[in-house]
């Protein structure tokens, strides 16, 4: 359908879409959720674009852009944007700077599923004082739609004039006959319309959807998205931190999937069969996922909260996702110079049950199929004769730790060598050692062993490794209460020695740890400066991207590429002070789980 529109029409609609995507609409004091019908399954909103811009300027990224060391490169970017603005103005009649100044307050996008109207969408944009620009933009869009064959109508709804277009339908696909049922374009998506009320532009899939918004304009309607109990719960969990979030979102994956399949594949047996598995697998209990993003709050440089809402009981495939909360802290053998560290507590008993449910659900033999397969594997004379559950999983505690670090390359210009270590908590040391010895001593095993400070390290030779062009070895050892897997194997030696400055004692980690709860399902630590440095230096070297500077940058034309010279970036040390380490944690919730990622503000005077 979209392909049938003229280029001019598509250009106008793309410009409109970019504007609306830039921010959600909340005119006056009525929040966007109160203006949306209850059948919203996806919602993305910037409550206040002006506030977002203000906070960004106050953020470390905003301050970095203003740093005098960045002046030459920023000047090049401004030149590139100016050239891009000329292209936009030539195609749409508006300067890019004018379009970017339109968003003023709230900006919202929502997807609607369910009800007799069929699938739909709503986009709202508070344009403030830019009514003239909006009128000109909509005139251009209307001209493009009319020229492409769309039929225009003006519809009155509660004193508001709706511009409504019926879009030309695409021709039938001749290749679809006799084959699989082709997806159908729902009738509800064969229209597009818009209206302007107060200082808000609202775009949607035709007059019927737009009428539902107008009916709720004053925020007093009894049936709105704001009354959705799952959305409301997620929004409340995402609030706080002393400042309004700069971004909010919500997604109902099951309703979205069901609605799209029923609308686009109503007669497709395979598609309907997939929907039939949702309830047996327990996936229908996932009622919503959503959260907030915030920045420059009284306590945090940035913080995001994501909530997964799940109805009890959590059965079937959801058994895979049970992570009990425990006290979490890096052990002494985790060094302070790591690039990242993560610790997760997993209910392995439930996870095994969840895997069994999944396998049994997709097997004609039904319950018990997975367990029978595991028993056969353990009794296979051609294999190591090890039972995955009895000889491995049952010996593990469920705590999983993962860390990475990097060492400088021997040759300048090469990427740093990244090393990684997995540590799986062990509750039966003798049992897991017996399993490891059985694997190492099984006929034809390529595993070699060596001793280090009284511990056995099992080494996998290069030939059996995947994707390891450097030829470093993979090591495994049961030490420090964990089954450790190191790449390279020498990283395990460091853990065995334990003679390192611990991460838990570093000032940087302690700054993050103050934001961790007493118990959690997971915690993580990421040193942003280390992770960014290589890519930054690669950009600054001029070797990346592998093309002429500026080639393909928006605004480039036949007369030459836009001047964007990454060699003008300052040395990394000039921006390193703006890159804060970040942390995250997961805590169980009575209705699911809450994921929090954050970077606290540095104390005044700290480096």
Instruction: State the average pLDDT over residues 413-418.
Output: 74
pLDDT at 469: 43
Report residue 460's pLDDT band, with 50, 70 and 90 as the boundaries.
Answer: confident
CA dihedral 322, 486, 435, 392 (to 10 degrees): 10
Average pLDDT of 509-536? 92
Task: Report how far residue 243's alpha carbon sits from residue 558's, in angstroms, rounded to the nearest whole number.
Answer: 47
**Do residues 540 and 606 lie in contact, with contact meaning Cβ atoms separated by under 8 Å?**
no
- Looking at residue 82, what is its pLDDT? 83
Dihedral sign from CA coordinates of 460, 464, 466, 467: positive
According to DSSP, the residues that pair with 486 across neighbouring strands are 421, 475
Q: Does residue 260 contact residue 311 with C-beta atoms inside 8 Å?
A: no
Q: What pLDDT score was predicted for residue 564?
A: 74
Per-residue pLDDT at 557: 43
pLDDT of res. 197:
95
* pLDDT-based confidence at residue 549 (cuts at 50, 70, 90): very low
- Pick from 415, 395, 425, 406: which is nearest to 485 by CA? 425
Evaluated on CA atoms 87, 89, 93, 96, the torsion sign reads: positive
Tell me which of 505 and 95 has the higher pLDDT: 505
Q: Are 126 and 103 in contact (CB under 8 A)?
A: yes
Which residues, in sequence order, are bridge partners of residue 294?
Answer: 303
- State the pLDDT at residue 21: 42
Helix (H) or strand (E) holding 221: none
Q: Is pLDDT of 8 > 90?
A: no
CA distance 239 to 283: 27
- Residue-level pLDDT at 558: 39
pLDDT at residue number 173: 61
pLDDT tens digits along 332-345: 999 999 999 999 99
For residue 71, what are the contacts with CB-CB under 8 A and spacing of at least 6?
Answer: none
> How many Cβ atoms sit within 10 Å of the Cβ of residue 161?
12
Which residues partner with 503 through β-bridges?
none
* 189 compared with 522, residue with greater pLDDT: 522
Chain mean position to CA 23: 18
CA–CA distance, 275 with 286 (Å, rounded to integer): 14
> How far is residue 103's CA from residue 126's CA, in Å, rounded to a whole number?
6
pLDDT of residue 303: 95
Can you give the pLDDT at residue 411?
A: 67
Give the least confident one: 54-58, 136-140, 150-154: 136-140
When pLDDT is averaged across residues 483-501 and rounded to a whole number, the result is 92
Is 284's pLDDT higher than 80? yes
Q: What's the mean pLDDT in 310-319?
A: 82
% of the chain with per-residue pLDDT over 70? 85
pLDDT reported for residue 360? 84
Nearest to 311 by CA among 589, 33, 596: 589
Q: What is the 3-state secondary structure (H, E, C) of 175-194?
A: HHCCCCCCCCCCHHHCEEEE
When the pLDDT of each residue in the chain is averaged and rounded to a whole number, the result is: 85
| Residue 240, helix vs strand vs coil | coil
What is the C-alpha to C-alpha distance for residues 370 and 38, in angstroms, rounded to an integer? 42
The DSSP call for residue 70 is G
Q: What's the pTM value of the predicted model, to 2 decimals?
A: 0.85
pLDDT score at 165: 96
In this model, does residue 180 exceed pLDDT 60?
no
Q: Does position 195 have pLDDT exceeding 70, yes or no?
A: yes
Tell me 140's DSSP state: H
Domain map of the chain by residue range? 2-48+105-227, 364-501
The encoded tokens of residue 157 equal 């709804």
| Residue 498 region by backbone torsions, left for phi larger than 0, else alpha for psi between -120 and 50, else beta | left
Residue 380 is predicted with a pLDDT of: 87
The mean per-residue pLDDT over the stretch 511-536 comes to 92
- In sequence order, the β-bridge partners of residue 203 are 123, 194
Res 224: pLDDT: 97
Report the range of poorest mean pLDDT among 4-13, 452-461, 471-480, 495-504: 4-13
Read off the pLDDT of each residue in 7-24 and give the average, rounded to a whole number: 42
Output the pLDDT for position 110: 97
Q: Chain centroid to CA 544: how far?
A: 25
pLDDT at 553 over 60: no
Half-sphere CA count of 407, side-chain side, radius 13 A: 6
Say whether pLDDT at 552 is over 70.
no
Number of other residues whose CB lies within 10 A of the CB of residue 279: 12
Measured distance CA(147)–CA(6) in Å, rounded: 7
Q: What is the pLDDT of residue 602?
A: 76
First to last CA, the chain: 56
Per-residue pLDDT tens over the stretch 112-145: 997 676 899 999 999 999 999 899 889 989 999 9
pLDDT score at 362: 78
- What b/e sequence results for 541-574 when a residue is b if at least 16 CB atoms lie within 10 Å of its CB, and e otherwise? eeeeeeeebbeebebbeeeebbebebebbbeeee
Instruction: Tell me which DSSP letter residue 121 carries.
Output: E
Rounded CA separation 58/276 (Å)? 50
Query: What's the pLDDT at 604?
Result: 55
Beta partners for residue 423, in sequence order: 401, 484
Higher pLDDT, 87 or 370: 370
What would the pLDDT profile of 231-240 be if each residue is shown by its tens digit? 999 999 988 7
Band (pLDDT 50/70/90 cuts) for residue 16 is very low
Higher pLDDT, 453 or 92: 453
| Res. 359 pLDDT band, cuts 50 70 90 | confident
């Amino acid at each position: 359908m979209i392909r049938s529109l003229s280029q001019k029409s598509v250009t106008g609609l793309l410009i409109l879409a970019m504007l609306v995507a830039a921010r959600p609409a909340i005119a006056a004091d009525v929040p966007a959720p109160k203006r949306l019908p209850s059948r919203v399954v996806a919602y993305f909103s910037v409550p206040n674009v002006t506030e977002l811009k203000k906070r960004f300027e106050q953020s470390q990224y905003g301050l970095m852009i203003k740093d005098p060391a960045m002046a030459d490169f920023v000047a090049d970017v401004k030149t590139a944007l100016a050239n891009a603005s000329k292209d936009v103005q030539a195609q749409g009649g508006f300067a890019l700077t004018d379009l970017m100044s339109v968003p003023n307050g709230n900006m919202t996008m929502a997807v609607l599923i369910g009800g007799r109207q069929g699938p739909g969408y709503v986009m709202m944009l508070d344009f403030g004082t830019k009514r003239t620009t909006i009128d000109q933009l909509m005139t251009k869009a209307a001209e493009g739609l009319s020229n492409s064959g769309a039929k225009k109508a003006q519809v009155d709804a509660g004193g508001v004039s709706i511009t409504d277009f019926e879009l030309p339908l695409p021709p039938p696909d001749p290749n679809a006959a006799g084959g699989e049922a082709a997806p159908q374009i729902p009738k509800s998506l064969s229209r597009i319309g818009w209206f302007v009320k107060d200082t808000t532009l609202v775009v949607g899939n035709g007059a019927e959807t737009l009428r539902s918004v107008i009916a709720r304009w004053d925020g007093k309607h009894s049936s709105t998205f704001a009354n959705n109990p799952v959305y409301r719960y997620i929004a409340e969990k995402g609030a706080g931190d002393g400042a309004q979030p700069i971004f909010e979102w919500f997604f109902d994956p099951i309703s979205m999937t069901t609605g799209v399949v029923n609308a686009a594949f109503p007669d497709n047996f395979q598609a309907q069969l997939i929907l039939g598995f949702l309830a047996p697998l327990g996936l229908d209990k996932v009622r919503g996922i959503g959260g907030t993003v915030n920045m420059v709050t009284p306590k945090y440089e940035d913080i995001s909260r994501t909530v997964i809402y799940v109805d009890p009981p959590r059965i079937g495939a959801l058994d895979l996702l049970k992570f009990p909360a425990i006290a979490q802290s890096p052990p002494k053998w985790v060094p302070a110079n790591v690039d990242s560290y993560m610790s997760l507590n997993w209910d392995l008993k439930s996870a095994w049950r969840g895997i069994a449910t999944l396998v049994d659900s997709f097997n004609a033999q039904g319950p018990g199929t997975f367990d029978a397969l595991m028993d056969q594997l353990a009794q296979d004379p051609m294999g190591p004769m090890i039972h995955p559950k009895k000889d491995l999983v049952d010996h593990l505690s469920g705590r999983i730790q993962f860390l990475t670090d990097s060492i400088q390359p021997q040759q300048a210009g090469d990427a740093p060598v990244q090393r990684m270590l997995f540590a799986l908590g062990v509750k039966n040391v003798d049992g897991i050692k017996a399993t490891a010895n059985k694997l190492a001593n099984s006929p034809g095993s390529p595993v070699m062993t060596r001793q280090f400070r009284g511990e056995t390290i099992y080494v996998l030779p290069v030939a059996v490794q995947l994707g390891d062009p450097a030829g470093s070895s993979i090591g495994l050892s049961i030490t420090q209460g964990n089954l450790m897997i190191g790449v390279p194997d020498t990283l395990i030696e460091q853990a065995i020695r334990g003679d390192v400055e611990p991460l838990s004692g570093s000032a940087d980690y302690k700054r993050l740890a103050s934001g961790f709860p007493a118990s959690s399902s997971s915690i993580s630590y990421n040193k942003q400066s280390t992770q960014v440095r290589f890519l930054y230096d690669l950009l600054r070297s001029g070797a990346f991207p592998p093309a002429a500077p500026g080639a393909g940058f928006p605004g480039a034309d036949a007369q030459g590429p836009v001047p964007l010279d990454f060699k003008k970036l300052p040395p990394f040390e000039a921006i390193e002070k703006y890159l804060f380490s970040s942390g995250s944690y997961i805590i169980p919730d009575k209705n699911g789980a809450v994921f929090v990622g954050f970077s606290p503000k540095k104390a005044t005077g700290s480096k």
